[in-house]
Amino acid sequence: MAMVTSQSSSKASRVGSVRSFALSDGNSFYCSCERVFDPRLARVPVIVLSNNDGCAIARTPEAKALGIRMGEPWFKIRQLCRSEGVRVYSSNYALYGDMSSRVNEVYRRFSPRIEVYSIDESFVDLSDVRETERAELARDMRETVRKWTGIPTCVGIGPTRTLSKLANHIAKKHPELGGVCDLTDEQERAAWMGLIPMQEIWGVGPATARKLEAAGCDSVADVRDLDPRMARKSMTVVGERLVYELRGIACLDLETVAPTRKGCAVTRSFSDRVEDLAVMEQAVAAHASRLAEKLRAQALGTDHVTIFFHTSEHDRDGPQRSVSTVVTLPEASNDGLVLLKAAKFGVRRIWRDGYRYSKAGIISTDLVPLEASQRALIGAFDRERGGALMDAVDACNRRFGRGAVVSAAAGLERERSWSTKFEMRSPRYTTRLDEMPVVAAC
């Protein structure tokens, strides 16, 4: 079998042998997390809003039935939610992240090889499970997750990652399957593929869908039957792999060990527009501190950061401006004070009065393991002192909660006029002692 990959790769060592993947994901995951801790939410419409309470990013079936779409802005659905009694929550990532790791702990009991693909989805390798036993194992896994964490899931099984995603899609759309769909059988698979529109394929977005349409594709089966060479011509190696994956030939293997992160960013929309340099400095400084924290958690560093801010396209009347600048450091660092200083420097460099800025951020690409990074001959940071200080800051924040110790330059909570809205956040039940649910037994 020809390896369909853009670069020679040895990690797909098992590619070619018969594989089986299960994709398990949490149903309306964020909403389900909220339901675990509040039984009153069962069977009523629930939605969770994005950062800044901007738009709906998770909806229970009851909320979907009311016509609330994915990504719909909050201000457009507020009335509907009020009149229909929809329970609305701000994002509570501390809770969702913790619930996610609990769910993954359960998956690990069913297979030694799992890939945590996103906060609510994981691939589970079932290659060593007998074909006839896979669906049963999936049902068992699903029940165990439900019992131990309270999260409802759906599982799709297939010989490639793409087909397991497709199976998962079917499991979700067809409740009569009991939350598990196994596409191992070729005939059964072919029947389903003829029924599902190609837009549902994992990896097909609007641009690819237009190309596929032009090529006469309507269903998933049509894409499977494309000539792989033609697919490569119009859709690059990504398109060619897609065709093979749909044919049951695995081109993508599991990443069971999370690869070192390549980039990291902290960006936020402001709750109110920012027109003042001092406020912008404070906001970006806070983002920089947070970025440094994220890098420290993974022992990574960066020797340059991009600072950006821009106005909003939705402010039709005002003048528009979008700027960015790269600030280079003498050597890689993850010291909060170093990145904060770089951030403020960058902001001042590109600041211009007279605009109503809506969003700002700090981005770092090309992360390096800090210990292995090249030291500067001139301008090296005092890593011993800086590192000890940051260790102490991290320890305090772990113990007393994020934000317990911050740089004054990044602003205290109460003076942050720019900060993000979380007006309807539920308690962080599982990660904060003071927000733990209290149960009375009598």
Which residues contact DNA (rule: CB under 7 A)? Answer: 5-7, 50-52, 54-55, 57, 71, 73-75, 117-121, 165, 201-209, 236-238, 259, 261-269, 273, 294, 312, 314-315, 358-359, 361, 420
Please report how close the Cβ of residue 431 comes to DNA at its closest, in angstroms: 18
Tokens coding 392: 């102490």
- Give the side-chain half-sphere CA count within 13 A for 310: 12
Which among 237, 204, 206 has a CA at the least distance from the CA of 220?
204
Q: Which residues contact 433 (CB under 8 A, 6 or more apart)?
A: none
| Residue closer to DNA (CB basis): 140 or 312 | 312
Please report how close the Cβ of residue 128 comes to DNA at its closest, in angstroms: 25
Please report how close the Cβ of residue 439 comes to DNA at its closest, in angstroms: 31
Please report how close the Cβ of residue 65 comes to DNA at its closest, in angstroms: 21
| Residue closer to DNA (CB basis): 74 or 192 | 74
| Residue closer to DNA (CB basis): 261 or 348 | 261
Length of the chain: 442
Amino acid sitting at position 388:
A
Q: Whole-angstrom Cα distance, residue 416 to residue 413?
A: 6
Tokens coding 320: 């528009």
| Residue closer to DNA (CB basis): 140 or 394 | 394
Tokens coding 429: 């039940």
Please report how close the Cβ of residue 411 comes to DNA at its closest, in angstroms: 17
| Residue closer to DNA (CB basis): 134 or 287 | 287
Straight-line distance from the first to the last Cα atom of the chain, in angstroms, rounded to the nearest whole number: 66
Query: What is residue 240's three-state secondary structure?
Result: helix
| Residue closer to DNA (CB basis): 205 or 379 | 205
Query: What is residue 106's three-state secondary structure?
Result: helix
Which among 373, 365, 366, 259 has a CA at the least distance from the CA of 9?
259
| Residue closer to DNA (CB basis): 209 or 277 | 209
Beta strands 357-364; 300-311: pairing state: antiparallel
- In 224-379 the beta strands, taken as DSSP E runs, fall at 264-274, 300-311, 322-333, 357-364, 368-369
Please report how close the Cβ of residue 379 comes to DNA at its closest, in angstroms: 20
Please report how close the Cβ of residue 304 comes to DNA at its closest, in angstroms: 9
